[in-house]
Chains A and B, each alone.
Chain A
Amino acid sequence: MKKRTRLEVIRDILEILRENRQARITHLIYKSNLSNNSIKPYLNDLLENNMIEKLVEKEKKLFRITEKGNEFLEEFNKIKIFSESFGL
């Protein structure tokens, strides 16, 4: 199986959040096929870039996609081709 690029992993995480509206980290780990350790840097980056947001509901930590994250999903194909054409 071909290894996913960084962009593809980000796309997958955002897709999961978009479909589920909001999700816990365990659900994201299960759906995105990532380990607990490997998903954390991605989530931190996404939080830092305001593509997702963290919220607490009934003492449960949840993640939710933002408008910026949604914009990224819409532009994903174009960004992917741009990156691949220049090998970025």
Chain B
Amino acid sequence: MPLALSLGKFYGIDSLIEILMIIVSFIISYYSNKVYRLVKNKNYRLFSFAFLAIAISFIFKILSNLTILHKVNVHVANFMLVVLTEFESMEVINFISLILYKSFYLIGFLILFLILTKTSNREKIFLFFYLSLIAILFSIYFDFIFHLTLIFILVFLTYNFFINYNERKSVNAFLVFFAFLLLSIDHLFFILEDFSPILYLIGEILSLIGFLCLLVNQIKIKNEKTNKVRSNKRYFRNIKRK
């Protein structure tokens, strides 16, 4: 089993890309929470949690990149034995951070999926989370299961964002649709990364462009004109005095 201390794949370029994704996810999460505090609509709070989970997931991914890179080849059919063998032979931090990365990342997109499908039935939500847990557990041995599960969720999200763009015909809606389209495609590259390391890099670049689209969307929103509301400060002061 080859072990080597590294900054991540491609000399840490992927970790740098992930730092940008953390910043973008935090910005979206913060803004959504700000809207929630004004509107008190729970969708905005869940949306904020979703992007917070995605931001946290990338922190764990960087942590897993910073620890020891490993490649385990176990040819045993017994799943539990494989899990135990992996756990014994792997650096604990690397293992845990990778699992936490997968968990938070999947939970983030799953929450977005639940918001868009307007799923409020507790049994359904429990089932979705249970199936995600199964996917994460199996991905310990078969990494592609994690990416495949994400592709299913992301394709659905992309389709919904396309319908939204078709209705609105706005640049902002297009940026969101395009970002999620790229995020769906990049996981295809991550599935195939074992064939060539360059495919992993292509996947990371697609993720970067996707998150940059989301960043541009947020910048456009921030630069949007505020409604010029007459200064009511004196009025509110008078109310308080009364």
Which residues from chain A sit less than 8 Å from chain B, CB to CB?
Answer: 7, 10, 18, 21, 45, 48-49, 51, 64, 66-68, 70-79, 81-88
Contact = CB atoms under 8 A, between A and B. Distances in A.
Contact of B226 (A7, A48, A49, A75): A75
Interface residues of B, number: 35
Contacts of B168: 84-85
Interface string B203-242: 0000000000000010011101111011010011001000
A82 B149 CA distance: 27
A31 B172 CA distance: 32
Nearest to B218: A82
Contacts of A81: 170, 172, 220-221, 224
A77 B227 CA distance: 7
Given A77-B224, A77-B227, A79-B35, A85 B40 contact: no
Contact of A82 (B35, B227, B235, B239): B35
B125 interface: no
Chief secondary structure at chain A's binding surface = helix
A49 B35 contact: no
A74 B39 contact: no
A18 B231 CA distance: 11
B225 to A, nearest CB: 6
A87 B173 contact: yes
B235 A21 contact: yes
Contact of B221 (A7, A70, A82): A82
B116 interface: yes
A78 B32 CA distance: 11
Given A78-B221, A81-B172, A68 B116 contact: no
Contacts of B220: 81
A70 B203 CA distance: 45
Contacts of A66: 236
A47 to B, nearest CB: 11
A78 B229 contact: no
A84 B173 contact: yes
Given A82-B31, A85-B176, A71 B38 contact: yes
A79 B227 contact: no
Contacts of B161: 86-87
Interface string B169-212: 01011011000000000000000000000000000000000000
Nearest to A46: B40
A51 to B, nearest CB: 8
B38 A75 contact: yes
Q: Which of B38, B161, B235 has the most CB of A within 10 A?
A: B38
B229 A88 contact: no
Given A78-B224, A85-B176, A18 B35 contact: no
Interface in B51-74: none
B222 A78 contact: yes
Nearest to A45: B40
B115 interface: yes
Contacts of A49: 38-40
Nearest to B176: A85
